[in-house]
Amino acid sequence: MANTTSAPLDLQHQISTMKSQSGATVFDSYQTSLTGRYCSAEMSQLFSQRSRHSTWRKLWLFLAEAEKELGIENISEDALREMREHLMVTDGDFEVARVEEKKRRHDVMAHVHAFGVVAPSAAGIIHYGATSCYVTDNAELMLMKEAMDLLLPKLAKVISNLSNFALKWKSEPTLAYTHLQPAQLITVGKRAAQWAQDLLFDLEAIEHVRSGLQFRGAQGTTGTQASFLEIFSGDDKKCDQLNELLCKKTGFPSCYPVSTQTYTRKVDLIIANAIAGLGASAQKITGDIRHLAAWKEVEEPFEKDQIGSSAMAYKRNPMRSERIYSLARELMSKPASFANTLSDQWMERTLDDSAIRRIDIPEMFLLADAILLSLDNVTSGLVVYPNRVHARVQEELPFMITESIIMRLVAKGESRQEAHEQIRVLSHEAGAQVKNEGKSNDLVDRIRKTGFFEPIWGELDGMLDSKLYTGRSEQIVDKFCGEGGVLEGKLKAYKGYIEKAGVAELSV
């Protein structure tokens, strides 16, 4: 069953809800392809204007509640009630804020005004003692925490997909590649286990960042809490209690010990490094799949009516893997942007962090979400062509057995150096025949006709079993992916999600 909660927003719904007074639709203005084509409805909604500004209202309510609990008498129950009744920003509220912002050129104050219109008893105490970053920074921390909570189970699902695939194909010999040249054999499952391990590192990195995330809280204009110290008549303890209450209401363990006008932008960079690591892993995995598809060994899902090329009807282009690869490239660029923002925050803060973070923070999570949806789709339906895999192994296997031949000859009393030279000469001759004449690899036949190798002629047929050359690939997969293995413990927290989730459907 498809996981419909991960499907992109319905286009008709977008058209019906985004018409302007002039009659224009989504087709008449630029729309990001992330929300229109690639990411999930829940991630798109999380970073919507309604979500962002409704979070601001929650923060204003929490501040007022905490201040009242700490003895601020001019905050009435009517004020709190009206605030609670209007936490969700309506279309009408957005229009009030739009008009106000055009006059004031300040989005926070525009929304303070709009909130006060619908909660008139609270109009005089909304934002009491706070600076703009009380709502902007704290809201961003809340949204990023929730975004990571959306990403982590999806990432766990992809790891689970690869684990199942690795176990299924743990014994299937395949060519390994070093320098993109055929190397000692592994198994199809062993390669997938490596992919899963990279993603596990990403899961652990994001979990670590998520668990260490703290709140900015109510710190005042330059992080000294001077305004709140004044509100509480110099009572130091109440300033600490205020932040303790805010953390409790928002679900954060604590506030960052030191803030300026903002929480340090180092936090954004730390998060970006963890999220971008997922992009690097995704690009590595889908790059491998693209190569395997070119060699016709492994393919991503390809639907019955899917078109691979508008001109070449026979083609089965790996479009899903190419999409992931492309989105990952953009995701991997984000840490540099966040690093530049951090390094350019002069003294206690400059506003040149604002516009770029409005773009970078949502895009980072939308990109990661889109990548995971497509990775889930790909890894849930990978197709292996064992006969093709076997045929390619057989093309190279004569070269793979040469090390064993040398060792067996030495065991029978021959010189290792002489055995190496004899093998080298014959291997180059066979390789030249393959490359220059397009013929098959006849190295084994050449060995059978060369007297130096007579001591091991009787062993050659037995040496051509490819399963002899995969080492401990099967056991490695079992230890990592199998029952009682590494992944079982790591994915335990996400077991319920994984069991309920279907394959993520892609809109296009």
Alpha helix (H) residue ranges in 20-90 = 33, 41-46, 49-69, 77-85
Q: Which long-range contacts (CB under 8 A, 24 or more apart) does 191-195 make?
A: 191/288, 192/162, 192/165, 192/166, 193/162, 193/163, 193/166, 193/476, 193/477, 193/480, 193/481, 195/162, 195/281, 195/284, 195/285, 195/288
| Residue (of 138, 100, 190) closest to 476 by Cα position | 190
213 dihedral zone (left: phi>0; alpha: psi -120 to 50; beta): beta
Q: What is the DSSP string of 406-456?
A: HHHHHHTT--HHHHHHHHHHHHHHHHHHHHHH-----HHHHHHT-GGGGGG
- CA gap 497, 474 in Å, rounded: 28
Which residue in 16, 309, 326, 415 is the catalytic one? 309
Whole-number Cα distances in Å, 285 to 173, 386, 401: 19, 20, 29
| Residue (of 332, 309, 304) closest to 319 by Cα position | 309
Which residue in 20, 22, 29, 179 is the catalytic one? 179
Is 127 in the active site?
Answer: no
Alpha helix (H) residue ranges in 301-385 = 319-332, 334-343, 354-380
Is 113 in the active site?
Answer: no
- Cβ contact 40:8 at 8 Å: yes
Chain length of the chain: 508
| Residue 436: count of CB within 10 angstroms of its CB | 8
The contacts of residue 189 (CB under 8 Å, 6+ apart) are 165, 166, 167, 168, 169, 170, 171, 172, 473, 474, 477, 481
Across the strands, what pairs with 215?
A: 255
- CA gap 384, 298 in Å, rounded: 5
Across the strands, what pairs with 383?
A: 299
- Cβ contact 200:159 at 8 Å: yes
Q: Which residues are catalytic?
A: 179, 309
